Structure 1
């Protein structure tokens, strides 16, 4: 028994027997997952539009006569009051025209007086038969014609004075200058807009609405935010909706006013959110990471409890998707109170044992408001 060869053989046999014996399978621990609990509420259809802040009242100012600009008294962003001088044209030609009209009027007045004197003399001579009735009638006609010419020249003089006055462009209303389209020395045409003045006290948000969203837009409530004021929203109301689509964009222009009439910077970029309650439709908002697919259809993984509140198995359940909002998706299908896996859905498989991660019991799906 003390033979070393025999002892070595026994050890080798024992090792072979151990290698041939079946091994015990390892027990896998349940995979920890994060979940949210589904809570349903009335669905709200929400659409976003990008627009600008504009004044409700914006006027394009133009000279009522043409000419060369000799003075420009305002710049963009400058506040003006009604009647302030904005720009001046060279008035040399208009002064000459006024003087010519003045002389023509004076001549016509003199002719009218002479014709009236002739009429009076002929009327006196007609009494004793020195002149014929025809001569008297011609005198009366000449007097009336001369008087009419004098009145016409008076109107021409008034027009010439007005055109001279129009060489000075004045603000038609108080506000802030938003656009200047000319420079000193430039020749501008009559009626060409050169300056825009907006009233900053009545700002509005202007957006363009596509035709397929027009009905929904009219039934919505609105919240707006400015790019220059991140995180701050305010309520606005629809004031005006164009009755006809734009020929270029085929969209309808909408103008919305702030309900609290707050001051907004003109020209700022605004984001408008139009939300409408969809009566009779119940949805829940879950994180977008919870969404997966089953046979090409949207689905989510639902945890079915198996051993207490913290253990369960997962099952893929089809859902109906009603819309998207930021990092959430609006769904319906699973019963209220079900817990939906929100992370690692690509690693789930039917029947997989899972454990709710620490703190997951308090996670809840955001109600779709």
Structure 2
């Protein structure tokens, strides 16, 4: 075997050995998609939430002005009524008898008044020739006046009896919707007992109870409200009335707020009121609370910065921040330059220098920041 052939044979195992010892070239890891939020500063605001109820500004309890047994019920809860509509009727038999009795008493009193006046006139004629004394003449005049007064009093009694007969029919004093019915046919109701509530639909309000420790700042806030049936649709409301004294049972103060614009609100609906007011002059940024993590026991966030070159990905780094408070699902913080993008989802999977992929909207924000 010649020398060249031996060298070739030795070269083959050596190449195989070197190939086995050479590590494989690592494959590039794909950038991790992330969701981000831009840091935007605004004046710090304190927000409080209250749960209230939609009520009518004008709601009146209706009651019979006389007592008796209910024989007809004309309305149900939720029914719309107009002014003058019949709500309920009482048994009026006793009141009709009272009208008849008053009529008979008036007839008797009127007859007596005419008789007394006739007697006075006759005595007055006899007085001229001295046949009647002054004392008898005065008695005749007094009797005539008394009988006339009695007749007038009986006329008023008849009018009162007729009014009480009319009161056996309960009518709506104004148009609105029936919000409560507290009686049934056959029930005996007392005079003045509230049995029907009617609310005017034209001026709905939101009624909330404010704790005493919120009272000083409540009137300084700006208010937005939403209904439980449409939580995503908020609308502006303004404070119309604040009770000057606390409700004895709850020790809270009742506030009534009305919509700024004409808006139809279903009576009785549950409403959420958000009261915001500026606090100190500190400016803060609001981002989702899920973006907050910790570094050595202190709050921090993962900030996104553009990688060098023309790569379409970005890198993340942990940056400490100052937390000023929480508002609903957001955290209020400071310590980052305005316009910084921070990771808001999957922060537990982040690591320093990790490549992340931005959405189209986030890349547009990055481009606009670079242009500035």
TM-score by length of 1: 0.80
CA distance in 2, matches of 1:45, 1:98: 67
For residues 91-130 of structure 1, what are the structure 2 equivalents within 5 Å? Answer: 91-130=92-131
Unaligned ranges ≥5, structure 1: 1-28, 365-369
For residues 234-245 of structure 1, what are the structure 2 equivalents within 5 Å? Answer: 234-245=235-246
For residues 104-183 of structure 1, what are the structure 2 equivalents within 5 Å? Answer: 104-183=105-184
Using the TM superposition, give the Cα deviation of residue 45 of structure 1 relative to its aligned residue in structure 2, in angstroms: 2.1
Partner residue of 1:217?
Answer: 218
Using the TM superposition, give the Cα deviation of residue 38 of structure 1 relative to its aligned residue in structure 2, in angstroms: 3.0
Q: Tell me the SS of whatever aligns to 1:128.
A: coil
Greater shift after overlay, 210-219 or 68-77?
210-219
Greater shift after overlay, 300-309 or 123-132?
300-309
For residues 61-80 of structure 1, what are the structure 2 equivalents within 5 Å? Answer: 61-80=62-81
Using the TM superposition, give the Cα deviation of residue 256 of structure 1 relative to its aligned residue in structure 2, in angstroms: 1.8
Using the TM superposition, give the Cα deviation of residue 318 of structure 1 relative to its aligned residue in structure 2, in angstroms: 5.3
Deviations 1:35-56 (A, max 9, x none): 6553322122222211111112
Using the TM superposition, give the Cα deviation of residue 82 of structure 1 relative to its aligned residue in structure 2, in angstroms: 0.7
Residues 121 and 68 (structure 1), Cα distance of their counterparts in 2 relative to 1, 3 Å cut: same
Partner residue of 1:314?
Answer: 318
2:362 is the counterpart of 1:358 = no
Q: Tell me the SS of whatever aligns to 1:231.
A: strand
Residues 123 and 277 (structure 1), Cα distance of their counterparts in 2 relative to 1, 3 Å cut: same
Deviations 1:260-289 (A, max 9, x none): 212221111111222223361200112212
Q: Is the 8 A contact 2:51 2:270 kept in 1?
A: yes
Q: Is the 8 A contact 2:324 2:332 kept in 1?
A: yes
Using the TM superposition, give the Cα deviation of residue 190 of structure 1 relative to its aligned residue in structure 2, in angstroms: 0.5
Deviations 1:48-91 (A, max 9, x none): 21111111221211100000011111222222111111111000
CA distance in 2, matches of 1:65, 1:305: 81
Residues 341 and 175 (structure 1), Cα distance of their counterparts in 2 relative to 1, 3 Å cut: closer
TM-score by length of 2: 0.79
Residues 156 and 40 (structure 1), Cα distance of their counterparts in 2 relative to 1, 3 Å cut: same
Q: Is the 8 A contact 2:321 2:334 kept in 1?
A: no
Partner residue of 2:300?
Answer: 300
CA distance in 1, matches of 2:253, 2:355: 50
Greater shift after overlay, 160-169 or 132-141?
132-141
Partner residue of 2:14?
Answer: none
Partner residue of 2:58?
Answer: 57
Unaligned ranges ≥5, structure 2: 1-28, 366-372
2:330 is the counterpart of 1:328 = yes
Q: Tell me the SS of whatever aligns to 2:266.
A: coil
Using the TM superposition, give the Cα deviation of residue 306 of structure 1 relative to its aligned residue in structure 2, in angstroms: 12
Q: Is the 8 A contact 1:223 1:233 kept in 2?
A: yes
Using the TM superposition, give the Cα deviation of residue 33 of structure 1 relative to its aligned residue in structure 2, in angstroms: 9.4
CA distance in 2, matches of 1:101, 1:168: 20
Using the TM superposition, give the Cα deviation of residue 172 of structure 1 relative to its aligned residue in structure 2, in angstroms: 0.4
C-alpha RMSD of matched pairs (Å):
3.0
Residues 363 and 324 (structure 1), Cα distance of their counterparts in 2 relative to 1, 3 Å cut: farther
Q: Is the 8 A contact 1:55 1:203 kept in 2?
A: yes
CA distance in 1, matches of 2:305, 2:170: 81
